[in-house]
Structure 1
Amino acid sequence: MTGLVELLDRLDRAVEAALSPATSAEGVNRDGWRVLLMLARGGGRSMGEIASHTALPAPTATRVVDRLVDARLAYRSTDPMDRRRVLVHLAGAGREVVERVCGSVERSASDAIGASRLPERAQLAELLEALASQGQDSTR
């Protein structure tokens, strides 16, 4: 069992090593990146959804969103269904940041995996998706 745990730990460090330079170059920290990535899935998100998805305390999530709004990577609007609720959306500049960072990390991953291993890459993506879904289910 420790073999899998050690592998996941190494993978986490590898992800951090790949993401950190790309997000830092864009002026976004890891928490900000998680919020941008969530917003890139579309639709406006409430602060509660953002805090829950990123596993950040609500005050921290608010500070992260404040920084993204100040940087014009995200914006807030009133929920048309409930005027008391505020939604956070990805701004055009935020979408560009997401595209650049994802492109950079995808290129790094492709270089590491190699183009000749596309079937294995698809299988790996499927396995990682199953693992990520399992992790999300256990936190609910």
Structure 2
Amino acid sequence: MRRKKRNPQFFCAVEVVLPAYGCTSPGVGISEEPLPQLEEGQPSFLTKRKTAQKLAFQAALSDAFQKLTIVVLESGRIAVEYRPTEEDLDARSEEELQNLIQVGCFPSSQSSQREEECLSDFSLEEEDLKLCGLH
């Protein structure tokens, strides 16, 4: 009997921090990429896996920014406000998060250079913009 393989699912949690405005906004994203008849290690498998990871990151980033209201006044001043959705107000239980793997945790006191190094792994290239329909 053949065992049916599950499609890989990726979860990404991000937090957009705007220290100059005293504002933070969490975001989460989940993606799944169907992998019919593919074996691990094949180039097409690796490509689909990378695509699914990027889509989860992009969904999390989009989710975080959708909760921010940014207003640019005529004077050039900028106002930022965090507006959580009703779903965000409901606390997530430990049970909901038990199958998730924590990849990394960085204290907010670390230098911005370290944050830039981490974010460089997720830089949006031309191929990423095509995935989002932005190019």
Fold conserved (TM > 0.5)?
A: no
Give TM-score scaled by structure 1 length. Answer: 0.29
Decide which structure has the larger Cα Rg and report it: 2
Greater share of helix: 1
